Structure 1
Amino acid sequence: MAKKRTFSEQAAIFMMSLGEGSAAEVLRHMEPKEVQKIGTAMASLDRVSRTDIDQVIHAFLQAVQELTSLGVGADDYVRKMLQSALGDEKAAGLIDRILVGRDSKGLEALKWLDPRAIADMIRHEHPQIVAIVLSHLDPDQAAETLLFLPDRMQSDIVLRIATLDGVQPSALLELDEVLERQLSGKNTTKSSMIGGVRTAANILNYMDSSKESIVMEGITQVDEDLAERIQELMFVFGNLIDVDDRGIQTLLREVSTEVLVLAIKGADDDLKDKIFRNMSKRAGEMLREDLEARGPVRLSEVEAAQKDILAIARKLSEAGEIVLGAKGAEAMV
């Protein structure tokens, strides 16, 4: 029996079944993140059976048959077909690209650049411009770009991201055109509604714990209420208590014992109990033994391990394999 494949793997199998030319044409219309994920899945595929291929193709054909009945508009067809093939999360960006149908420009082209290159390009711009640019990037790319900017700027930029309340379309278009001239890249300015508290929280979620603390401290000194609102929207290790048991089991399969031992050193008893409850009896006993044998560890090691697990959790969430629970304001310990 063929093993259950993730959405990325299913998309990779489907793309590889199209042949190089057709697959390349499809990838040409995808976001950088989409291309990266599907490319990674292609490279890591092993032991793809005839059954795997048949299942993926059958699912695609079934979706086509269901969506090509009379009366279904082209937009609806494209949207539903991509959601069925890739899942809601992965299809969202691609749907926007296809249905909006605009030429791509400067701001979107930044997503193809290395974070260090982006930082070098924007470091001498006004902090408000930097905040707009980072708000437009994916959170992990924005977080890494922020690390290459001067320490003195980081808190100010995140504060500005959190307080962005939309950008005038004309101003965004002007910035987009300036970047386009610098880059010669393409992509589309999708919306003027960028930035905000949630964007700031998402970026901080991807930062190293020590840097995150420094940035949050700087924001707190300027606006304590805003810092609390950002913290409330951040998904921290303690929030894993809100993930359902099936999600915890899926997550634990992706985490090494070494990382897990370090991470739960700083977890509260309720979260520890949830983790042990979702392990086999033997695995739980071994983990308890490892915990006892480990002894005291540096807080920085614990926080780094927790960040690693959170990164895995976010990837699984993006793949539609787990659902992250409600975000809370619990601090890392």
Structure 2
Amino acid sequence: MSGVQRAAVLLLSLGEVDAAEVLKHMDAKEVQKLGLAMATMGAVSREQVGTVMDDFASALDRQTSLGVGADDYIRAVLVSALGADKASSLIDRILLGRNTTGLDTLKWMDPRAIADLVRHEHPQIIAIVLSHLDADQAADALKLLPERTRADVLLRIATLDGIPPNALNELNEIMERQFAGNQNLKSSAVGGIKVAANILNFMDTGQDQSLLGAIRKVDEVLGQRIQDLMFVFDDLIELDDRELQAVLREVSGERLGIALRGADPKVRDKITRNMSQRAAEILLEDMDARGPVRLSDVEAAQKEILTLVRRLADEGTIALGGGTAEELV
């Protein structure tokens, strides 16, 4: 069982009231994953439930109360160590930055609803809104905006350097009751080149290059910096063997064969070198036997694998952009 499936078994065992109480403390993406796991859960044996419960009880026994109610302690320590002025911005980043409740409500909204909400707003406001979303959700919302608006919005996301109070106040007016009006809001660090690159990674093939081209017309250097941070399918060749094998373990042979149709031959060679000889032979035989494949199917398969790569990178299993993956023990 995966971690999500184990959590789903636990929640299903708790009953509606207690499960709902647990879900209140999770963010939108976690609730969506758990909800899907619970909805698709097949037959679970009594032994499996018992194992999940035993593991949970064992993990709970190892926990302490340290960290509970720690906000006031952190605030007092930082002020004492740095003084009120120096500690102020640091406290905001550590404590307030994680609790932007109003903005977090966007993550519960359908991308189409978000696009409809901001469609007629100034591109700078749209950029601020999309910067607060997860990259895949922001990309889905960006796709639904008018074509003439997309490049402008992405350019503004890439050049965002904090949100001034007046911009946040304007955003509060747009979101109305979803945001609390606070005239003393301080700048919040969102956006940037990496955010823009991540959003482009989730755009459909063709759309990403079109937007990148439009940005290059305005700022060639910025466009290149965004391109450098994007991870495309052919960049799989940059993964080391262990990382690539971690990716291949979670990809079906059928989807891999389709994705490799549009890949650089060097990528195909590296992938087959990291498979068993028999598995590589089967993959190549299936590709030859399948015949022509629609370009849209190839692009969809590559996007699926790239989504998997980004998930593994977020989990620390692999590293992108020359970083170092978290050591596994």
TM-score scaled to structure 2, two decimals?
0.78
1:217 deviation in Å? Answer: 0.5
1:316 deviation in Å? Answer: 4.6
CA distance in 1 between counterparts of 2:228 and 2:247 reads: 23
Matches within 5 A, 1:201-280: 201-280=197-276
Q: 1:139 to 1:191 in 2, by over 3 A?
A: farther
CA distance in 2 between counterparts of 1:250 and 1:281 reads: 17
Matches within 5 A, 1:1-333: 5-68=1-64, 72-74=66-68, 104-105=101-102, 107-168=103-164, 170-171=165-166, 173-181=168-176, 183=178, 192-294=188-290, 299-318=295-314, 320=315, 322-326=317-321
Which one scores higher on RCO, CA 8 angstroms, separation ≥ 6?
1
Identity in percent: 51
Q: 1:158 to 1:103 in 2, by over 3 A?
A: closer
CA distance in 2 between counterparts of 1:275 and 1:157 reads: 36
CA distance in 1 between counterparts of 2:67 and 2:178 reads: 36
8 Å contact from structure 2 (residues 123, 152) kept in 1 = yes
CA distance in 2 between counterparts of 1:9 and 1:175 reads: 41
1:22 deviation in Å? Answer: 0.8
8 Å contact from structure 2 (residues 163, 188) kept in 1 = yes
Structure 2 spans left out of the alignment, 5+ residues: 71-92, 324-329
Structure 1 spans left out of the alignment, 5+ residues: 77-95, 329-333
CA distance in 2 between counterparts of 1:40 and 1:220 reads: 40
Moved more, 116-125 or 209-218: 116-125
The code of the aligned residue for 1:241 comes to I
For residue 93 of structure 1, what is the aligned residue in structure 2? none
1:241 deviation in Å? Answer: 2.7
CA distance in 1 between counterparts of 2:242 and 2:14 reads: 34
CA distance in 2 between counterparts of 1:245 and 1:174 reads: 49
Moved more, 144-153 or 277-286: 277-286
Moved more, 126-135 or 292-301: 292-301
Q: 1:147 to 1:100 in 2, by over 3 A?
A: closer
8 Å contact from structure 1 (residues 131, 158) kept in 2 = yes
Q: 1:211 to 1:103 in 2, by over 3 A?
A: closer
Task: Name the SS of the counterpart of 1:74 in structure 2.
Answer: coil
For residue 90 of structure 1, what is the aligned residue in structure 2? none
The code of the aligned residue for 1:41 comes to A
Larger Cα-atom Rg? 2
CA distance in 1 between counterparts of 2:166 and 2:141 reads: 22
1:256 deviation in Å? Answer: 3.7
RMSD: 3.3
1:40 deviation in Å? Answer: 1.1
Q: 1:20 to 1:191 in 2, by over 3 A?
A: farther
1:327 deviation in Å? Answer: 6.1
8 Å contact from structure 2 (residues 262, 298) kept in 1 = yes
Q: 1:302 to 1:101 in 2, by over 3 A?
A: closer
Q: 1:274 to 1:29 in 2, by over 3 A?
A: same
Q: Where does structure 1 differ by over 4 angstroms across 4 or more consecutive aligned residues? A: 96-103, 182-185, 244-247, 294-301
Q: 1:218 to 1:102 in 2, by over 3 A?
A: closer
The code of the aligned residue for 2:176 comes to R
TM-score scaled to structure 1, two decimals?
0.77
CA distance in 1 between counterparts of 2:53 and 2:94 reads: 24
1:174 deviation in Å? Answer: 1.6
1:305 deviation in Å? Answer: 2.4
1:243 deviation in Å? Answer: 3.7
